[in-house]
Amino acid sequence: MKPKSQLEILKSGLNAFRPDVPKPDTRLRRLRRTENLRALMRENRVTVDDFIYPIFVEEQAAERSPIGSMPGIFRETEATLPLAVKDVAKHKVKAVILFGISHNKDHSGSDSMHSGGLLARMIAEAKNASPDTLVIADVCFCEYTDHGHCGVLDHNHDVDNDRTIENIAIQSVIAAEAGADMIAPSGMMDGQVAAIRAALDENGFSHIPIMAYAAKFASAFYGPFRDAAGCALGKGASMGNGDRKTYQMDPANLREAVREAEMDEIEGADILMVKPGLAYLDILARLRDETNLPLAAYQVSGEYAMMKYAAQAGALNYDDVMLENLMAFKRAGADLILTYCALDAAVALDKLADHLEL
């Protein structure tokens, strides 16, 4: 008889010691054995087609300037914006969303309601630079008002909903006339989608879609954006005037988010967005069950900053956590992702593809 091998001795010893451990019939690890098998089994994919890249544009600035709280992101000038948009196209990212940094602010944000204002100019400049790149207009007033709120204030210093949606309708037509391919209202005013749809349709823009910030939460994750866009609310603001909680949603509320989304769909939204991203994946997953409209997730400035700074501190690998986060949005049901990582992700995905082909 052949002498027993080390392994056989070990096995019989283990069996003698724990004789009744059942062996699994179902072995899920079978399908994870090799990279090719895992690729075959992958349920979701992140591609460069999913991304919308936000760009900040500062008027009357001599040079583009780095944004301290968002490493790798710049405030472009109107002169550098065309280069930035061309670079986006070079990375094969299909869409940008523009945020203005105004030096012509007033009570109502009137600069954004003129055809010569920053909103209109930056859209035209981006469109000229790369006509095939989709240029999305974020329509809101916080970047253009001197008080920093997302609309005109009433005598109680709260945002006046119905006057604001009249202004949003004007702002949207201005954006469409300047060449915007899509309108994205982010002010969280009631009735804003219906007001915009009607105004666009009346002015010959029935072909321009609306991507509604359907569920936008009053989030601390917007901190770096407010720094970048210069739209923080005044510190000395009076009671109830120092935050956006009378219009942005309470982070505690899921059912209300579904109602917001339902209203926007009824009012004519073409795409629904959830914002912020990672902390609100449950909202996204729930909306995926509730609607057949395309869904977008906005991975906001604070999420970007967390990944960048953790990576800088050596705690995380930026590329890996970035791709994992982006995949989480796809898995939860997003079709589109607004992300400051878009260009980094395009490069990382390219590298990954090259590596797999080797």
Taking contact as CB under 6 A, which single stretch among the options 24-32, 100-108, 134-142, 305-313 is the one that binds ligand PBG? 134-142
Asked if residue 126 lies in contact with residue 117, where contact means CB atoms within 8 angstroms, the answer is no
307 binds ligand PBG (CB under 6 A): no
Choice between 166 and 290, CB closer to ligand PBG: 166
Provide the β-strand partners of residue 106.
Answer: 145
330 a catalytic residue: no
Which residue number places its CB atom closest to ligand PBG?
Answer: 225
Site string for ligand PBG, 318-357 (x = CB under 6 A): ----------------------------------------
Residue closer to ligand PBG, measured from CB, 13 or 240 = 240
Q: Three-state SS for 97?
A: strand
Residue 181 touches ligand PBG, criterion: CB under 6 A = no
Residues forming a β-bridge with 153: 159
Residue nearer to ligand PBG on the CB measure, 108 or 301: 301
Annotated catalytic residue within 94, 275, 308, 330: 275
SS3 321: helix
Please select the residue that binds ligand PBG; options are 145, 164, 291, 301, rule is CB under 6 A.
Answer: 301
Do 50 and 335 form a contact (C-beta atoms < 8 A)? yes
Which of residues 139 and 208 has its CB atom nearest to ligand PBG in the complex? 139
As a dihedral over the C-alpha atoms of residue 230, residue 231, residue 236, residue 242, rounded to 10 degrees, the angle is -150
SS3 label, residue 282: helix
Q: How far is the CB of 242 from ligand PBG (least distance, A)?
A: 12
Both tokens assigned to 163: 């006057």
Is 80 an interacting residue with respect to ligand PBG (CB under 6 A)?
no
Query: Active site includes 275?
Result: yes
CB closer to ligand PBG, 185 vs 209? 185
| Segment lying near ligand PBG (by CB under 6 A), choices 41-49, 105-113, 122-130, 137-145 | 137-145
Q: What is the C-alpha to C-alpha distance for residues 339 and 343, in angstroms, rounded to an integer?
A: 9
Specify the pairing of strand 65-66 against strand 74-77.
Answer: antiparallel
Q: Using CB under 6 A, pick the residue from 58, 125, 138, 267 that binds ligand PBG.
A: 138
Q: Could you say which of 118, 300, 305, 348 contacts ligand PBG (CB under 6 A)?
A: 300
Q: Which amino acid is at 54?
A: P
Find out whether 283 and 274 touch, Cβ atoms under 8 Å.
yes
User: Which string of b and e fits 80-116 if b means at least 16 CB within 10 Å?
Assistant: bbbebbebbeebebbbbbbbbbbebbeebbbbbbeee
Contacting residues toward ligand PBG, per CB under 6 A: 138, 140, 142, 186, 222, 225-226, 300-301
Q: Write out the catalytic residue numbers.
A: 216, 275
